[in-house]
């Protein structure tokens, strides 16, 4: 039965209020996005989440790429049933699957539409259905208390990103690019999109920065050099770091193991360094905000 306008507005307000209540239990909300596909955005999101969980933080990762969800596969938990439990008000909430990568990290919660559709089944939805799905993944999942909520977006600046940004208050946006010019052009659009949305901390990560030759160990600039840093300087945002091409990364991704867990690799060390810099910056910003907040004492 179709809802009339008043009922539809009430339902919309209810789900948004539910999202706000859940958001209050997430210390930091971080978007990972790019201007174009093929730059390794989901790889960055998954490894950033795993790096934070490896440091002991409670982390959730939401795959907001409704049409091309890859996060579950990259974390090795794509084959799972989604359970639900009844809430006090009679609704049902989905329980996000968890993984700790065989004890190597703190428990990391994951939710994606990919759990609910066959891996070769296309999701042929227009904007309104995509928006509703994201609201449910945010508001109808029992996320609980989190230190970090990582949200992996699809390429571009479409419905999924706008829906999330208008539903929760992001603390940071990690813009992923590769060094070549065409990627930098599109990444610049993503940076300015986040500026328009007034996200407090915007930073750039350069993926596939160089290839480590497996024979001689030299660095090979396959896609050029330094583009991510130049983009950050041009747009007046911070450059968080660069991730090299590591041949083990493909094997790790296919096996559902983030490369950050391969501690002896340069890529793993790069991800851990990026995670540490991000945590430090966010904690500095929160401390400053708290120091500048009006005292509640009379």
pLDDT (tens digit per residue) in 116-158: 877 777 777 777 888 888 999 999 999 999 999 999 998 877 7
Find the distance separating the first CA and the last CA of the chain, reported in whole Å. 53
> Which burial class, exposed, middle or buried, applies to 65 when counting CB atoms under 10 A from its CB (0-12, 13-18, 19+)?
buried
Q: Which range scores top for mean pLDDT: 100-104, 118-122, 292-296?
A: 100-104
Percent of all residues in the chain with a pLDDT value above 90, rounded to a whole number: 57
Give 13-32 pLDDT, tens digit per residue.
888 899 999 999 999 999 99
Do 269 and 242 meet the contact criterion of CB atoms below 8 Å apart? Answer: no
- What is the structure's pLDDT at 100? 96
Mean pLDDT over all residues of the chain? 89
243 versus 183: the higher-pLDDT residue is: 243
Q: What is the token pair recorded at 287?
A: 């401390």
Q: What does the alpha-carbon distance between residue 83 and residue 51 come to, in Å, rounded to a whole number? A: 27
Instruction: Give me the mean pLDDT over the 96-110 stretch.
Output: 95
Domain ranges (residues) in the chain = 31-287
**CA-wise closest residue to 18 among 133, 132, 136:** 136
| Helix (H/G/I), strand (E/B), else coil: 91 | coil
76 and 256 in contact (C-beta within 8 Å)? Answer: yes
Report how far residue 246's alpha carbon sits from residue 237's, in angstroms, rounded to the nearest whole number: 27
* pLDDT of 52 above 60: yes
Higher-confidence residue of 294 and 188: namely 188
Q: How confident is the model at residue 3 (pLDDT cuts 50, 70, 90)?
A: low
Q: How far apart are CA 154 and CA 41, in angstroms?
A: 8
Residue 195 confidence class, pLDDT cut points 50, 70, 90:
very high
Task: Classify burial at 270, counting beta carbons within 10 Å of its beta carbon; exposed 0-12, middle 13-18, buried 19 or more.
Answer: buried
- Mean pLDDT of the 264-288 span: 95
Separation in Å, CA 9 to CA 4, 133, 136, 140, 190: 9, 17, 16, 18, 30
In the prediction, which pLDDT does 297 show? 53
pLDDT at residue 66 greater than cutoff 90: no
Query: Which distant-in-sequence residues (6+ apart) come within 8 Å of 168 by Cβ?
Result: 19, 20, 23, 29, 138
DSSP-based three-state secondary structure for 192: helix
Name the β-bridge partners of 205.
176, 241
pLDDT at res. 12: 75
Average pLDDT, integer, range 225-239: 92
- 229 Ramachandran zone, left/alpha/beta (phi>0; psi -120 to 50): alpha
Ranked by mean pLDDT, which of 42-46, 82-86, 180-184, 215-219 comes out on top?
42-46
Q: Distance (Å, rounded) from C-alpha 20 to C-alpha 4?
A: 25
* Residue 100, token pair as written in the block: 């700790």
Cα 102 from chain centre? 22
Residue with tokens 């571009």: 156
Looking at the predicted structure, is the pLDDT value of residue 298 above 50? no
For residue 223, give Cα distances in angstroms to 44, 177, 244, 289.
18, 11, 11, 39
Q: Please tell me the predicted confidence (pLDDT) of residue 59.
A: 98
Q: Is the pLDDT of residue 53 over 90?
A: yes
Angstrom distance (rounded) from CA 110 to CA 77: 9
By percentage, how much of the chain surpasses pLDDT 70?
95
For 31-287, which CATH class? alpha beta
For residue 264, the model assigns a pLDDT of 87
């Amino acid at each position: 039965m179709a809802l009339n306008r008043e009922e539809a507005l009430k339902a919309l307000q209810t789900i948004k209020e539910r999202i706000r209540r859940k958001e209050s239990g997430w210390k930091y909300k971080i978007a990972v996005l790019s201007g174009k596909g093929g730059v390794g955005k989901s790889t960055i999101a998954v490894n950033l989440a795993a790096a934070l969980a490896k440091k002991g933080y409670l982390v959730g990762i939401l795959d907001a790429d409704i049409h091309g969800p890859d996060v579950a596969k990259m974390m090795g938990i794509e084959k799972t049933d989604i359970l639900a439990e009844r809430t006090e008000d009679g609704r049902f909430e989905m329980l996000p699957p968890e993984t700790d990568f065989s004890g190597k990290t703190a428990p990391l919660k994951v939710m994606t539409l990919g759990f609910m559709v066959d891996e070769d089944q296309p999701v042929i939805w227009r904007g309104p259905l995509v928006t509703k799905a994201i609201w449910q993944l945010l508001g109808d999942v029992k996320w609980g208390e989190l230190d970090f909520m990582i949200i992996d977006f699809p390429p571009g600046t479409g419905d999924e990103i706008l829906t999330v940004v208008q539903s929760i208050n992001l603390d940071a946006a990690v813009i992923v690019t590769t060094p070549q010019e065409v990627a930098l052009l599109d990444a610049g659009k993503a940076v300015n999109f986040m500026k328009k949305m007034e996200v407090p901390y915007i930073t750039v990560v350069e993926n596939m920065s160089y290839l480590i030759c497996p024979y001689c160990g030299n660095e090979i600039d396959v896609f050029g050099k330094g583009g991510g840093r130049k983009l950050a300087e041009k747009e007046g945002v911070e450059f968080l770091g660069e991730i090299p091409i590591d041949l083990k990364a493909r094997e790790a991704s296919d096996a559902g193991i983030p490369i950050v867990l391969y501690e002896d690799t340069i890529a793993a060390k790069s991800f851990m360094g990026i995670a540490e810099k991000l945590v430090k910056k966010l904690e500095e910003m929160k401390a400053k905000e708290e120091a500048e907040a009006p005292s509640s004492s009379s």
